[in-house]
Amino acid sequence: MRYLLVVTSVASKKDARRLARLLVCERLSSCVNILPAESVYKWGPKIAEEKEYVLLCKTESARYKKIEELLLNEHPYALPAIYALPVEKGSKNYLKWVSTQLRKKTSEESVYPPSYLQE
């Protein structure tokens, strides 16, 4: 089994939580860390400096295409940064948990009320 850490960033904590919940609810990521960050980048002729929230999504390689599709459809940015870093090594038990979370589904979890995805 191959694993990835998929990374993206958004401007608000609300958007970060919404995307994280979608990814976890859809079983595309077992866990999403949300970290505060500052970004410096060139946008057009100007240098921009913005506060952002970075999402670190733990998943299996086979799920990348669906994660990218979800993020492109749900992301608030016109050009979101979405990239994946391969996990070269990791705790055997943790990686097993990642895989289990991506597959586990009970009848109670099959339908999430819209309020579950809200802040």
Alpha-carbon span 89 to 110, nearest angstrom: 32
Distance CA 69, CA 63 (A): 10
The dihedral over CA atoms of 67, 25, 33, 87, expressed in degrees to the nearest 10, equals -50
Per-residue pLDDT tens digits for 32-46: 999 999 999 998 999
Identify the pLDDT of residue 1. Answer: 82
pLDDT grade for 57, boundaries at 50, 70 and 90: very high
Percent of the chain with pLDDT over 70: 87
Q: What is the pLDDT of residues 72-115, one digit of tens each?
A: 999 999 999 999 999 999 999 999 999 999 996 655 554 444 55
Q: Which two tokens stand for residue 85?
A: 């870093």
Tokens of 82: 């979405």
What are the structural domains, with CATH classification, of the chain?
A: 3-104 (3.30.70.120)
DSSP-derived 3-state class of residue 15 = helix
Mean pLDDT of the chain: 90
